[in-house]
Each structure stands twice: as structure tokens, then as C-alpha cells.
């Protein structure tokens, strides 16, 4: 390309820069996601290392009759759920960054993109299932009398799962059409 290509009044290089920025942001979020997973694991470890002070704090806050050990184990399980969501979030962010890279390179219908979007769909399903588990555990914690943040299922999250699988089919069909077009030229 010798000069900027006009696309609806916008310079194509600006769009490429925007996609590159998005790709980098997604890769940065993937690193931050792993850091949060490590923090969740350290939190769980801390509940073991500092169990006595933690239990004493809960007794002061909720009274001597509170099921303190049950509360501590439920908090550990919530920490474990937080750590376990790292993998499916990673399986969303990294393929999305790779998809953005293929778009930046002018190959949105790269055959690998259909697989990437399918991976994202399965990861979104895993996230939704972990969210339901988190909601059930939150309700269990609430029954002990502990302060909890409210929970409700994410309708948008559940809708995103089939959307991802449909988009994967669209990308697969686009890749086939792109290959057919290459064969005719």
C-alpha cells in the first residue's frame, strides 16, 4: 500500500492502530488476570497461616455463637472459585487478542479464528457455571449470618455463550468463502 486507504472518511492506519492497541490491552489484561489468580491463591494461603487472628476477628464481629470455622471454610471456597475462574478468563482474553492480531494483519477470516471463537464460547460457559457455583456458595455464607454481597445470575453472560458459538460458525463460513474466493482468483 503506497498511501492511506480511505474507509468512510477514516484513515485505515488509524483503525490498524486502534486494533493494535486493543490487542495489547487484551494481552495486558491476560497478565493482570493471572496476577489476580495468584492473589486469590495467596489469600487462601493467608486464611490458613492466619487462621487464629481471622477466627478471632469473626468472633468479635459476629459473636461467640457464630459458626466461625464454617465461615472460614466458605471464605476459602470463595477464594478457590475466584482462583479457578482465571483459566476460563485466560481462554477468553488470549484467543481474542490473537483474533485481533489476525484482523490487524487483514485476515479476519483466518480459519484459526473459528476455533478461537469456539474456545471463547466454551470459556464463557465455564465462567457462567463458576458464577452459579459462586452464587450458591454466597447463599450458604449468608445463612451463617455473615455479611455478603448479593448475587444474581448474569443474563448477559448466559446470552453471550450461544452468541460465541454462532459467531464461531460465522467465522468458519467466512473462512470457507475466503478460501473459495482465493481459489477462483
Residue spans of the domains in the chain: they are 8-184
Rounded to whole angstroms, the Cα distance separating 136 from 142 reads 10
Per-position pLDDT tens, the chain of length 185: 334 445 555 666 778 889 999 999 999 999 999 999 999 999 999 999 999 999 999 999 999 899 999 999 999 999 999 999 999 999 999 999 999 999 999 898 999 999 999 999 999 999 999 999 999 999 999 998 889 888 899 999 999 999 999 999 999 999 999 888 877 76
d(CA 108, CA 115): 13
Total residue count of the chain as it appears in this document: 185
> Where on the phi/psi map is residue 154: left (φ > 0), alpha (ψ -120 to 50), or beta?
beta
Helices 111-143, 86-104: axis angle to 10 degrees equals 150
pTM: 0.84
For residue 3, give the H/E element and its range.
Answer: none
Amino acid at each position: 500500500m503506497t498511501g492511506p486507504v480511505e474507509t468512510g472518511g477514516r484513515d485505515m492506519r488509524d483503525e490498524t492502530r486502534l486494533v493494535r492497541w486493543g490487542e495489547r490491552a487484551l494481552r495486558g489484561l491476560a497478565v493482570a488476570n493471572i496476577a489476580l489468580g495468584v492473589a486469590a491463591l495467596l489469600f487462601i494461603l493467608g486464611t490458613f497461616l492466619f487462621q487464629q487472628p481471622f477466627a478471632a476477628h469473626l468472633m468479635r464481629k459476629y459473636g461467640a455463637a457464630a459458626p466461625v470455622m464454617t465461615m472460614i471454610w466458605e471464605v476459602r471456597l470463595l477464594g478457590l472459585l475466584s482462583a479457578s475462574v482465571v483459566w476460563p478468563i485466560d481462554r477468553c482474553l488470549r484467543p481474542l487478542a490473537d483474533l485481533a492480531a489476525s484482523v490487524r494483519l487483514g485476515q479476519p477470516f483466518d480459519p484459526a479464528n473459528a476455533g478461537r471463537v469456539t474456545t471463547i464460547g466454551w470459556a464463557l460457559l465455564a465462567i457462567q457455571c463458576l458464577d452459579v457455583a459462586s452464587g450458591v456458595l454466597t447463599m450458604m455464607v449468608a445463612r451463617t449470618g455473615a455479611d455478603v454481597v448479593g448475587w444474581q445470575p448474569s443474563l448477559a453472560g448466559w446470552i453471550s455463550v450461544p452468541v460465541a458459538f454462532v459467531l464461531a460458525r460465522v467465522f468458519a463460513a467466512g473462512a470457507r468463502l475466503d478460501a473459495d474466493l482465493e481459489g477462483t482468483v
